[in-house]
Structure 1
Amino acid sequence: MSRREQEEAFAKMVKEHELLIMKVCRVYAYDVHDRQDLFQEIVIQLWKAFPNFKGQSKVSTWMYKIAIYTAIAGLRKQKSFIRYSDPQQLPQDSVYVPYDETKDKQLEELYRAIAQLDEIEKAIVMLYLEGKTYDEMEEIMGISSGNLRVKVSRIKDKLKQIIKQ
């Protein structure tokens, strides 16, 4: 594959999976500018890894893995991403377009609760909400399926407790 063909294939892949990247950014960065920076960093890391992608897994699985690891690495480096903040102080903007006030409030409440989880818990809940199977989550996260089931159960309980507060 020529360099131009590779660039075109990559651009098409990113465009087709843009929402996947945006969801990761929404979970790990709460400010619009931080989301844009994280989005760019994820695309850079995807581009670096693209020549080594052999198609042994789904493109979305491969992209989630890189996006999540990039976001977590950014947090650990203490870049400009917010690790945790008082939920009342989090910005109210999101990619979500409101259409139902009740659902919008519930979604915002869920995002505020998710903001209080640690990096790994955020990744697991995001993949779970995306409808990923435990096998897909195992491939992305490198955590056994059985361990993931236990973590999901505990995360659900934790989110319920956070939302009740």
Structure 2
Amino acid sequence: MTEGERESIFKEWVAQYKALLFKVVRAYAFNTEDQDDLFQEIAIQVWQSIPSFKQEAKVSTWLYKVSLNTALRWVKKTNKYQSNLDSIDDEMPIIDKSEHADERLDWIYEKISRMDKVDRSLTLLLLDGFGYKEMSEILGIKASNVGVKIHRIKNQLIKESKNYASHGI
């Protein structure tokens, strides 16, 4: 693969799957600076991994796997994500926050951010319409376990959403 081919693939994938990448970024990084850093880490990892893409999975599935694994490594490396939950820095963001002006979306991302890493990853994959088999391949867990976990996540979010709605938010 030539450098030009790699660059073309990279640009195409980032343009086509930008929303997927930003979902992962927003679920694992909580202020603008960290989101910018994580997006850069994911972009670098995607760039470096393009030659190893074997087309055994859909591009979106492969990108999710690369993005989630990169995000999990980034969280472990920085080891500061929890303290940054309430910190917001609006200087020169990569992610246009106006796209996320819906307070319900902010609420769901906040709930997702408080989940453990497997539940958080499953929730993002579910929101993007991945099937249990694809989720199990991406995360390396059994499809039956995916089903049980998703059932529990849904029940918890339904319960919490009732509290959210009853407080007039």
Same fold at TM > 0.5: yes
TM range (shorter): 0.7 to 0.9
SS across alignment from 2:99: coil
Partner of 1:135: 133
Confirm whether residue 48 of structure 1 aligns to residue 51 of structure 2.
no
Aligned-partner Cα distance in 2 for 1:136–1:123: 12
Amino acid corresponding to residue 55 of structure 2 in structure 1 = G
Please state how far the C-alpha of 1:97 moved relative to its aligned partner.
4.3
List per-residue Cα deviations over 1:119-160 (Å, max 9, x = no partner).
Answer: 111110011111111111112111111000001111123334
Amino acid corresponding to residue 82 of structure 2 in structure 1 = R
Unaligned runs of 5+ in 1: 99-103
Please state how far the C-alpha of 1:72 moved relative to its aligned partner.
0.7
The total of aligned residue pairs comes to: 157
Amino acid corresponding to residue 141 of structure 1 in structure 2 = L
List per-residue Cα deviations over 1:19-59 (Å, max 9, x = no partner).
Answer: 11111001111111111110110011111111010111100
Aligned-partner Cα distance in 2 for 1:4–1:161: 50
Percent identity of equivalent pairs: 36
Aligned-partner Cα distance in 2 for 1:85–1:10: 30
Asked if the contact 1:125–1:152 (Cα under 8 Å) also holds between the matched residues in 2, the reply is yes
Aligned-partner Cα distance in 1 for 2:4–2:110: 42
Aligned-partner Cα distance in 2 for 1:39–1:25: 6
Q: TM-score, normalised by structure 1?
A: 0.84
Amino acid corresponding to residue 83 of structure 1 in structure 2 = Q
Q: CA RMSD in A?
A: 2.3
Sort the Cα spacing of 1:56 and 1:37 in 2 relative to 1 into closer, same or farther, 3 A. same
Partner of 1:96: 99
Amino acid corresponding to residue 29 of structure 2 in structure 1 = A
Partner of 1:59: 59
Unaligned runs of 5+ in 2: 91-96, 165-169
Amino acid corresponding to residue 96 of structure 1 in structure 2 = E
5 Å-filtered alignment, 1:15-94, equals 15-80=15-80, 82-83=81-82, 89=86, 91=88, 94=97
